[in-house]
């Protein structure tokens, strides 16, 4: 309790804001969301809370951002990098990954109300699909207690190794990691099995019409084709190009200039291939603010907004916790 009082005092006294004003004036802060639901939406029962926030928490975050930052959009950032107008002090960009239907239903109206235009990185192969990938189907099946022994046995047969009973969240995450570490052939076999699992609310991704509705209020970039780490792709350059072409074809817009790496995984070779594929704004999972410089191709860090780290007992934002984390993150040139 004493620590909580100290944290509140640091925030309410303005000391944390003073640190922020001195450190982050000329750095771009990029925050990352995935899914947004009101507490009474039944789909929340299936969602992975590491990547999901409630609508109230999302609204609180946008209010916090507008208090301490100046939200910018993709066009402003693109113009600045090309040598145009300077960005405002303390710029912040709100981003989303994947292409979930709830972004249109819940995130968009809240963003509009707070005069924020987010940037959505679209997994192009998931548009019009029921779920993002086999990982989400497997996790959701466990979360709603629809992962019986026969399903685990089917996964074990494809993995060619025994699978223990999945009871805890740690168990399910370890199983997902074991599948991800297997060979490409085995992963594909397991994925085909998991994709046959039925879920009560299967359609959770945007379709093409919905994506274009969202494009009126969100900017768009790419997030791969299959939502598999590009570090394991047989031809990442081809997939990076395919994602650009697919998003252009889905929306009728020009080829996108921005992308983020699926699962946040990348290396120097992938950064170079993303540049070669035509992306000028590349977003990583590196936790840092990015020192702003005008250049033709730029790489940015991002911060995932994990509600469980910053919420109070009622599930609302504790601004002192977010300030303690966000204001003090390193400022780097990537």
Read off the pLDDT of residues 223-276 as tens digits, 9 standing for 90 and up.
999 999 999 898 999 999 999 999 999 999 999 999 999 999 999 999 999 999
Contact 302, 92 (CB under 8 A): no
Domain count, the chain: 2
Tens of pLDDT, residue by residue over 287-307, are: 999 999 888 889 999 999 999
User: Could you read off the pLDDT of 186-216 as tens digits, one per residue?
Assistant: 999 999 999 999 887 778 999 999 999 999 9
pLDDT of res. 201? 75
Best CA proximity match to 270, nearest among 227, 323, 233, 307: 233
Least Cα distance to 69 among 124, 15, 123, 30 occurs for 30
Q: Which domain holds residue 151?
A: 134-194
State the pLDDT at residue 326.
Answer: 96
Assign 63 to helix, strand or coil: helix
Residues 6+ apart with CB under 8 A from 17: 11, 68, 323, 327
Note the pLDDT tens digit of each residue in 84-119.
999 999 999 999 999 999 999 999 999 999 999 999
The pLDDT value given to residue 37? 97
Measured CA distances, 166 to 142, 153, 169 (Å): 8, 11, 8
Same domain (yes/no): 46, 81: yes
Residue 5 domain-assigned? no
User: According to the model, what pLDDT value does residue 224 have?
Assistant: 96
The reply to whether 116 and 169 lie within a common domain is: no
Residue 9 lies in a domain: no
Whether residues 105 and 141 fall in one domain:
no
* Same domain? 99 vs 24: yes
User: Does 212 lie in the same domain as 112?
Assistant: yes
- Looking at residue 3, its pLDDT comes to 87
* Helix (H) or strand (E) segment spanning residue 10: helix 2-12
Residue 334 pLDDT:
86
- Whether residues 123 and 227 fall in one domain: yes
Minimal CA–CA distance to 7: which of 332, 329, 325, 254?
A: 325
Helices (H), 119-233: 134-143, 149-159, 169-180, 184-194, 208-214
User: How would DSSP label each residue in 168-184?
Assistant: SHHHHHHHHHHHHTS-H
pLDDT of res. 125: 96
Cβ atoms 92, 71 nearer than 8 A? yes
Q: Is residue 14 part of a domain?
A: no
> Within this chain, do residues 226 and 283 fall inside the same structural domain, yes or no?
yes
Q: With the CA atoms of 265, 271, 277 and 278 taken in that order, what torsion angle do they form, in degrees rounded to the nearest 10? A: 120
Specify the CATH number for the domain of residue 328: 3.20.20.370
Q: Dump the DSSP string for 79-125.
A: HHHTT-SPPPSSEEEEEEEE-BHHIIIIIHHHHHHTT---EEEE-GG
Residues 325 and 290 in one domain: yes
pLDDT at residue number 152: 93
Q: How does pLDDT run across 55-79, given as a tens digit for each residue?
A: 999 999 999 999 999 999 999 999 9
Q: Which residues pair with 52 in a beta bridge?
A: 35
Q: How far apart are CA 277 and CA 279, in angstroms?
A: 6
Same domain, 226 and 155: no
**106 lies in some domain:** yes
Exposure class string for 98-135: b at 16+ Cβ within 10 A, else e: bbbbbbbbbbbebbeebebbbbbbbbbbbbebebbbbb
Instruction: Give the separation between CA 287 and CA 304, rounded to whole angstroms.
Output: 8
Mean pLDDT over 40-68 rounds to 96
Which of 155, 172, 194 is where one domain is finished?
A: 194
Residue-level pLDDT at 134: 94
């Amino acid at each position: 309790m004493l620590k909580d009082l100290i944290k509140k005092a640091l925030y309410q006294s303005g000391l944390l804001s003073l640190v922020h004003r001195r450190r982050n004036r000329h750095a771009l802060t990029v925050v990352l969301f995935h899914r947004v639901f009101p507490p009474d939406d039944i789909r929340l029962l299936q969602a992975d809370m590491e990547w999901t926030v409630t609508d109230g928490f999302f609204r609180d975050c946008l209010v916090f951002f507008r208090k301490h930052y100046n939200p910018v959009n993709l066009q402003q950032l693109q113009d600045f990098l090309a040598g145009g107008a300077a960005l405002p002090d303390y710029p912040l960009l709100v981003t989303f990954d994947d292409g979930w239907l709830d972004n249109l239903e819940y995130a968009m109206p809240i963003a509009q109300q707070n005069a924020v235009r987010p940037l959505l990185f679209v997994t192009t192969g998931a548009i019009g699909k029921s779920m993002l990938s086999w990982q989400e189907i497997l996790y959701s099946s466990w979360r709603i207690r629809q992962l019986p022994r026969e399903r685990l046995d089917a996964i074990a047969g494809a993995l060619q190794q025994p699978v223990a009973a999945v009871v805890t969240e740690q168990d399910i995450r370890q199983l997902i990691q074991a599948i991800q570490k297997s060979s490409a052939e085995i992963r594909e076999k397991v994925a085909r099995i998991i994709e046959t699992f039925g879920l009560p609310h299967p359609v959770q991704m945007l379709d093409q019409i919905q994506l274009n509705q969202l494009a009126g209020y969100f900017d768009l970039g790419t997030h791969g084709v299959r939502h598999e780490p590009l570090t394991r792709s047989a031809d990442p350059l081809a997939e990076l190009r395919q994602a650009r072409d697919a998003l252009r074809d889905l929306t009728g817009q020009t080829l996108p200039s921005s992308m983020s790496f699926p699962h946040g995984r990348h290396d120097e070779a992938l950064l170079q291939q993303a540049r070669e594929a035509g992306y000028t704004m590349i977003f990583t999972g590196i936790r840092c603010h990015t020192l702003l410089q005008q250049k033709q191709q730029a790489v940015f860090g991002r911060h995932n907004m994990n509600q469980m780290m910053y919420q109070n007992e009622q599930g609302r934002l504790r601004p002192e916790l977010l300030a303690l984390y966000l204001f003090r993150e390193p400022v780097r040139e990537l």
